[in-house]
Amino acid sequence: MNFLRQEPVGRHLAAILAADVAGYARLMSEDEEGTLAGLRAWRHAIAEPRIRGYRGRIVKATGDGFLAEFASVVDAVRCAVEMQRAMADRNADVPAARRIELRVGINLGDIVAEDHDIFGDGVNIAARLEALAEPGGICVSGVVRDQIRDKLPYIFDDRGEQQVKNIARPVPVYAMSQAAIAATAAPAPVAAGRGRRRLAVAAAGLLIAVAAAGAGWWLWARPHTAAATAHLLPAQPPAPRLSIVVLPFENLSHDPDQDYFADAITEDLTTDLSRIAGSFVIARNTAFTYKGASVDVRQLGRDLGVRYVLEGSVRRLGSQVQVNVQLIDAGSGAHVWADRFDTETGNLAKAQSEVTGRLARTLNLQLVQAAGRRIEQEGAVNADAQDLVMRGWALYQRTPAAASRDDARRMFAAALRLDPKSYDAKLGIAASLVVNLANGLSEQPAEDEAEAERLLAELLARDSNRTELHVSIALLRRVQNRLPESRLEWERAIELDPNNSVAIGQLGVTLIYLGEPAAAIPLEDKRIRLNPNDPNIALAYWSIGLAHLLQNQLDEAIDWLTKARTANPRVYYFYLDLAAAYALKAEMPDAKAALAEALKLRPDINSMKRQLARWAYTNNPAYRVMAEKTIDAGLRKAGMPED
């Protein structure tokens, strides 16, 4: 039997699965031979067996994807989930920048089969859903979700109705992320009786025969096992010996108001562990998505690509603090070590340093003894002031940003009144001022900028080895259009904390405005790897999309900008850049629709003149050379007026 071709069957109802490789053009440009070898191994080892196993057929293939048809929508979704799970396992030890990751879209609809191809809105919608899926994820239409709701245990997020290209009516979209797929129980294997084995033998024989005649990309001269193709794949470095996530510590004080205290210890330990040479530490935003949840540490390790999980609890009674810590091997689920530290709030930093040092010694790793926290260097600390500082940083991390950061600044100011020398209180005030300036939320920008400059200069003179300090200086320098200085400050922040996802991503943004968009992409990839559950991940998607747009890589730009828009549909400049990309591809209805949406969100940015005046740093000459040929040209073509 031929699984890859069949005679035309006319009009019929079918489940259509569309898949492509995310970032295919970038992978090919960086390592063409390695990418092609990886694709060959993936097609043979993962895609084809599962499609056949779930009674589907590949209808046609493109350079970086394929279209498959299934008689059963349940089989199509099962196949997609199993395929994505297998890809995630295969990618576990592969650096994020070199991973082959699929995006999958599934729709159920009436199709027409003709000349070994299928046509119709059902096919078009599947392709549009695939473009909306995240790498490693799946998007399905509302009709698919309705069909599988009571038949499969999969959890899909409702993304609402989406207007997609060439489809008159909005399409209800449901998405399943890579993390959700990994957390879902593996499906039972499809039975493989004698008839199935005969079919597999026939298919293998066909693969060999057709490949010898030079058939499509999914066929080749002989069957490839994983061992046979291993030498074709690019060599991958092993995961860092200390790749770890610090789960939010449990508050055992029986007082929900003390959550901030446990959270502060979690964040400090996350920062401290980044001082260990060669460590890979998952960012706090992702770690905190597991707060209060019961997790399987082995599954968590696979989801996040880490070898260890650090978890613990905090009990606070007055000034007395008890911290329990345990290190778990994510591969086996076994405890590596556990310990308890009894201390007082004034000596908490010392106890946290003991935890970090103990972990480093246990794993035989080098602990980088940087200048460290000011709280450790200055000796005695005002415990009440430090408590207010902890509350301030807890508020600073919350959303919505404007209100919570103003509240945070009041906490920092109260701490400063109790302890006028408090380094952390001054740093908190400066960070709050700078973020408001960067987001255009300051009511008195000149005064706030002067105050931030004064505080940052004082803190730099007292202790220049604080990552958070250099993050604030870097952001302020970018607001001031002092991009080379901003770059140096981001680099210094990363030097002090190699796992700071904010600094890594923001360095990428700064490089874009310095006219180096290609250099920004691997940084944004790393940011996503360190912080996959970042609530602001749309900004990473946008940065990658913008970098591709400036290099006139329009398909990649549209893919990433669409992801950004889907992740956060309220950011106007996502739509502006998407409008430019569509216009440069001469897809004018989409370009005009995106521009209209941008202007709806920000009516004041309604001309090229106003658009160019958005941020001072967008006028950097190296950036403007590229932007004029891409963003500006595209917006003009989309219909943006000059004045």
| Structural domain spans, the chain | 10-231, 243-369
Instruction: Measure the CA dihedral 542/571/577/587, to 10°.
Output: 110
pLDDT of residue 560 exceeding 90, the answer is: yes
User: Within 10 A of 97 (CB to CB), how many other CB atoms are there?
Assistant: 17
Q: What is the pLDDT of residue 630?
A: 95
Cα–Cα distance measured from residue 26 to residue 547, given in angstroms and rounded to the nearest whole number: 11
Tokens (6 digits) for 184: 């879902």
- What is the predicted pLDDT for the residue at 241? 63
pLDDT over threshold 90, residue 520: yes
The answer, yes or no, to whether residue 222 has pLDDT greater than 80, is no
Helix (H) or strand (E) holding 560: helix 554-567
The number of beta carbons lying within 10 Å of the beta carbon of residue 442 is 17
Cβ neighbours of 13 (radius 10 Å): 11
State pLDDT tens for residues 285-330: 888 888 888 788 888 888 888 888 888 888 877 777 788 888 888 8
Residues whose CB falls within 8 Å of the CB of residue 49, separated by 6 or more in sequence, listed in order: none
Which alpha helices (H) appear in 213-347, and where do they start and end? 226-229, 259-273, 284-287, 297-304
596 pLDDT higher than 90 = yes
Residue 7: per-residue pLDDT = 39
N-terminal to C-terminal alpha carbon distance within the chain:
65
Amino acid at 464: S
- Read off the pLDDT of each residue in 635-641 and give the average, rounded to a whole number: 93
The size of the chain, in residues, is 643
Return the pLDDT at 316.
78
**Res 195 pLDDT > 50:** no
pTM value surpassing 0.75:
no
Residue 290 confidence (pLDDT): 85
Residues 101 and 22 sit within 8 Å (Cβ to Cβ): yes
Q: Kind and range of the H or E element at 545?
A: helix 537-550
Closest-CA residue to 65 (of 98, 83, 39, 91) = 39
pLDDT single digits (tens) 444-462: 999 999 999 999 999 998 8
CA 598 from centre of chain:
24
CB crowding 482-497: b at 16 or more within 10 Å, else e? bbebbbbbbebbbebb
DSSP secondary structure letter of residue 136: T
Quick count: other Cβ atoms within 10 Å of Cβ 356?
20
- Using the structure block, give the residue that is written with the tokens 């202790």: 463
pLDDT digits (tens, 9 = 90+) for 40-85: 777 777 888 888 888 888 888 766 778 888 888 889 999 999 889 8
- The confidence band for 228, taking pLDDT boundaries of 50, 70 and 90, is very low
Residue 199 has pLDDT above 70, yes or no: no
- Look at residues 549, 548, 542, 546 and name the one whose alpha carbon lies nearest to residue 527: 542
Model confidence pLDDT, tens digit, residues 326-357: 888 888 888 777 777 777 766 656 666 666 66
Q: Which residues pair with 21 in a beta bridge?
A: 102
> Which of 135-139, 211-215, 430-434, 634-638 is predicted least confidently?
211-215
Strands (E) located in 41-170: 56-62, 65-70, 102-114, 117-119, 138-141, 157-162
Lowest mean pLDDT, pick from 117-131, 133-147, 216-230: 216-230
Is the pLDDT higher at 424 or at 168? Answer: 424
Residue 281 CA to residue 237 CA, distance in Å, equals 17
pLDDT of 362: 57
Mean pLDDT score of the chain: 78
CATH of span 10-231: 3.30.70.1230
* Predicted pLDDT at 433: 92
Which run of H or of E encompasses 111? Answer: strand 102-114
Cα separation, 578 vs 2, in Å, equals: 42
Please tell me what DSSP assigns to residue 221: S
Q: What does the pLDDT average to over 141-162?
A: 82
Evaluate whether 10-231 and 243-369 have a shared fold: no
| Rounded Cα distance, 540 and 529, in Å | 11
3-state secondary structure of 341: strand
pLDDT-derived band of residue 536, with 50, 70 and 90 as boundaries?
Answer: confident
Q: Amino acid identity of 324?
A: N
* DSSP letter string, 147-173: HHTTT-----EEEEEE--TT-SS-EEE
What span, in angstroms and rounded, lies between the C-alpha atoms of 92 and 243? 12
Nearest to 502 by CA among 477, 448, 539: 539
Burial class of residue 192, CB neighbours in 10 A (0-12, 13-18, 19+): exposed
Calpha distance 231→233 (Å, rounded): 6
Q: Exposed/middle/buried for 208, CB within 10 Å: 0-12, 13-18, 19+? A: middle
pLDDT, residue 486, reads: 94
Helix axes 501-513, 483-496, angle to 10 degrees: 160
Angle between helices 445-462 and 423-438 (to 10 degrees): 140
**What is the distance, to the nearest Å, from the Cα of residue 426 to the centroid of all Cα atoms in its chain?**
31
- 64 vs 156, which has greater pLDDT? 156
Does 564 have pLDDT greater than 60? yes
pLDDT band, very low/low/confident/very high, at 370 (cuts 50, 70, 90): very low
Q: What is the pLDDT of residue 335?
A: 78
> Could you name the CATH architecture of 243-369?
3-Layer(aba) Sandwich (3.40)
